[in-house]
Structure 1
Amino acid sequence: MARVLADDSQRHFTVGEVVRTLGNSGGAIGNALEKLVARGEAVRIADNPRTYRANAATAAAAQTVSVTPPAQRQRGRPGTGAKSAAPPAATAARQHKPAPPSASAPAPTGAQSGRPSPITRPNGMTYHPRELAQMPDVEALRNLRKAGVPVLLYGPPGTGKTSVIEAAFPDLITLAGDGDTEVADLIGEYTQREGGGYEFVYGPLVTAMQEGRALLIDDATLISPKVLAALYPAMDGRRQIQVKAHKGETITAAEGFYVIAGHNPGVHGAVLTEALASRFSVQIQVGSDYDLAEALKIRPKAVTIARNLARLQEKGEVGWAPQLRELLAFQKVEAVLGAEAAFANLIGIAPLEDRDVVADLVRKVTGHRARPLSLGRQL
């Protein structure tokens, strides 16, 4: 990366341009460029699309770096008639084979030693991987991305759908969908410059396609089907879209581009249409991990109440059960206001039609009379 920037220090490079030079995936290239910026060895000068240039430290960083053009890598692949060394890690990844271990590699941790380590998400919070198809969920999602298989995660709000996606894909771009989402929110639109005039600013779909990044369409089922139709050509064999608003420009997806979506069944206005469902070959149900809640030292009685409500929800006797998000909030409220207030707040956040059942369950488990958190007499 540093060598490419240093060899043409006056040029501004987009992620896609570096991808075409090196041949790696857009996600890997984007991450490496961001690392250079974080170390002060390159400068990011634009966000849409992400654009970089060399600075005074780039040349020094590139001194020990060698760049093999894609054509030479192709000639050197086994079976092409040319002798070559073992493929580098990036090439091995593209062939879906593990790279050979490095002599300086750290000792195995997490999944390599039998249990996956927590993963730090962009917001600084940690994600604890869960099992999916007899492997850590983040590994399964990454494998599906390599195979080009789109995934839809569905389940109640607060169960960790966004968390696992952020943990699996560090290069993630997220579009939060709702009933007001328009095609321009996906593809882009003209915006006024500060100095006057207009420029076309690409939306998250185009950016993800150009840079070979993962794109999360969160709450996809709240978006109008007519708007989602703009996404479909990028997901099928064409892997292209036409930006009619920008001179009919054709955008072709770079290697690594991937679409994943989230769906909250039961949320008002969420409709999983046949057209949308057919685009996602794998659909994964996500529920709260109450074992994790216990491991995170959330008060056991709160977890017991949540488990019982979840069972009642499965039977159709209540419409709501606390998910991991609500239990984490319980833990924070308890730390500030105490356990009694935290249980009272748990009742108060329940939907009105389920509140009596929740209150009764809190009373049975805790042994105390419970009602929603509320103001008392004047002090």
Structure 2
Amino acid sequence: MTTPAAAPGTAPRLPNGELRRQVAEVLALDPAAAHTPGAIATALGGKSSGAVGNALATLEARGEAEKAGTSPLTYRATAKTADAAKAATVAPRGAVPAAAPPKPAPSKPATSKPAPSKPATSKPATSKPATPPAPAPLVTGPVRRPNGQMYHPRKLSGLSDVTALRRLRAAGVSALMYGPPGTGKTSVVEAAFDDLVTVQGDSDTVTDDFVGSYVQTPDGRYEFAYGPLATAMREGRALFIDDATLIPPTVLAVVYPAMDGRRQILIKSHKNEVVDAVDGFYVIGGHNPGVHGAVLTDALSSRFSVQIRVPTDYDLAVQLKIDPKAVRVARNLAQRQEKGELGWAPQLRELIAFNRVADAVGMSFAAGNLINTAPEEDRDVVAEVVRNVFGANVTPLELGPQF
């Protein structure tokens, strides 16, 4: 593997698509083996496993790699991997090969008499207006997520949620998905965009988590590794800021210039480099209003022109063969939550967990665990509803005396 030589005293920087080429090269060297992102990152001399994971997801979307397993997440080579390892390529969405330059007109032999000149006349330019791109087609069938699970699109104002998000991206309109944890915000975003890079926000998120930082190479030098924001801008990809409202506002402000008309950021820690967003770059956010510390500021809200509420789809829970009694408990608690009688109700994530627990250790155990899952201030109401559905003998999980 070769990279461009760096100027003396400076760390080399990978050009666009080079990391993806290197990842493909590792896969191609042992095409029958299944590789984890971490193993590939180690093979590449300590690259970021997150960056390698994003490269693998892009290779998979292009058919240049395939997912071999999900627990742990592994990838293997396909018939196209060897070609992907030959040269770094970056093709933003919608890009087409450049047209060949027109051939010059054949020269005419010189004549003894010059052609009479005609007076210059200015004619208004007549150009046909550009044809707008066709809108993304309606998607109603299941869509495979990066983890291999299938996402079933939900209705959104006459469209499917996947279709709507893809059309918003094409129009450059950022969207904010909000709702309780476990309702499927991440799932729909991953289903809508196969070139996604993600920032998982929390109170400890710093600017470097967006733009990147210097990392040490095996030979002791330091090179700059671009973060998710800079990567998405340079490669024309979608950026998902999950739990955006948990990130300190002073840190989140680094994204604002990329989302407005400037469409660029300044990386002060990397020689004041200016990164411009190429076509295809898009930002989508996730917000959990009920989570402690989540604050949707005016500055953040104004950047997301579309804001979509994501409630739990209890009909989908039935389709997924979640126990009907558990679904009935969840619906009851959700209705009470809407009335303001309590602050918590089981979402799809908790219902899926309920089925797994019930299969492992029994229905009574899973029902007791549902009570324990509720916040302490809501536990009495939840226990009442659970007992009304599953029976009065259900108790919260608690260790008893020795056998």
The match for 2:203 among 158, 170, 179 is 179
Which residue of 2 is the match for residue 54 of structure 1? Answer: 86
Q: State the 4+ residue runs in structure 1 displaced beyond 6 angstroms.
A: none
Identity, in percent, stands at: 56
Question: Structure 1, residues 120-151: CA drift from partner, whole Å, max 9, x if none?
Answer: 21112221110012111101100100000000
1:378 is displaced (CA, Å) by 2.0
Which residue of 2 is the match for residue 252 of structure 1? Answer: 276
Question: Structure 1, residues 183-228: CA drift from partner, whole Å, max 9, x if none?
Answer: 1110011122121121111110000111111100001001111111
Counterparts of residues 228-267 of structure 1 (less than 5 Å): 228-267=252-291
Go from structure 1 to structure 2 and tell me whether the alpha carbon gap of 1:73 and 1:153 turns closer, same or farther (over 3 Å shift).
Answer: farther
Structure 1 residue matching 2:148: 3-state secondary structure: coil
Counterparts of residues 112-191 of structure 1 (less than 5 Å): 116-191=140-215
Counterparts of 1:334 and 1:304 in 2: how far apart (Å)? 16
Which residue of 2 is the match for residue 70 of structure 1? Answer: 98
Question: Structure 1, residues 261-308: CA drift from partner, whole Å, max 9, x if none?
Answer: 000002111110000000000000111001111111111111111001
1:36 is displaced (CA, Å) by 2.9
Aligned positions, number? 315
Give the superposed CA RMSD.
3.1
Structure 2 residue matching 1:311: 3-state secondary structure: helix
1:354 is displaced (CA, Å) by 1.0
**Conserved 8 A contact 2:387-2:394:** yes
Counterparts of 2:223 and 2:334 in 1: how far apart (Å)? 50
Which residue of 2 is the match for residue 35 of structure 1? Answer: 63
Which residue of 1 is the match for residue 384 of structure 2? Answer: 360
Which residue of 1 is the match for residue 396 of structure 2? Answer: 372
The match for 2:16 among 14, 17, 28 is 14
Structure number with the higher helix fraction is 1
1:54 is displaced (CA, Å) by 1.3
Structure 2: gaps (5+ residues) = 1-13, 21-54, 66-76, 89-94, 103-125
**Conserved 8 A contact 1:239-1:253:** yes
TM-score when normalising by structure 2: 0.72
**Conserved 8 A contact 1:41-1:54:** no
1:80 is displaced (CA, Å) by 6.4
Counterparts of 2:101 and 2:397 in 1: how far apart (Å)? 66
Structure 1: gaps (5+ residues) = 1-11, 19-26, 45-51, 59-66, 82-90, 100-110
Counterparts of 1:316 and 1:333 in 2: how far apart (Å)? 29
Question: Structure 1, residues 81-102: CA drift from partner, whole Å, max 9, x if none?
Answer: 9xxxxxxxxx99x722579xxx
Which residue of 2 is the match for residue 327 of structure 1? Answer: 351
Counterparts of 1:71 and 1:268 in 2: how far apart (Å)? 54
* Higher alpha-carbon Rg: 2
Question: Structure 1, residues 139-177: CA drift from partner, whole Å, max 9, x if none?
Answer: 110010000000000010001000100011111111001
Which residue of 1 is the match for residue 362 of structure 2? Answer: 338
Letter in 2 for 1:35: G
**Conserved 8 A contact 2:136-2:163:** no
Which residue of 1 is the match for residue 133 of structure 2? Answer: 95
Counterparts of 2:244 and 2:301 in 1: how far apart (Å)? 11
Counterparts of 2:101 and 2:376 in 1: how far apart (Å)? 64
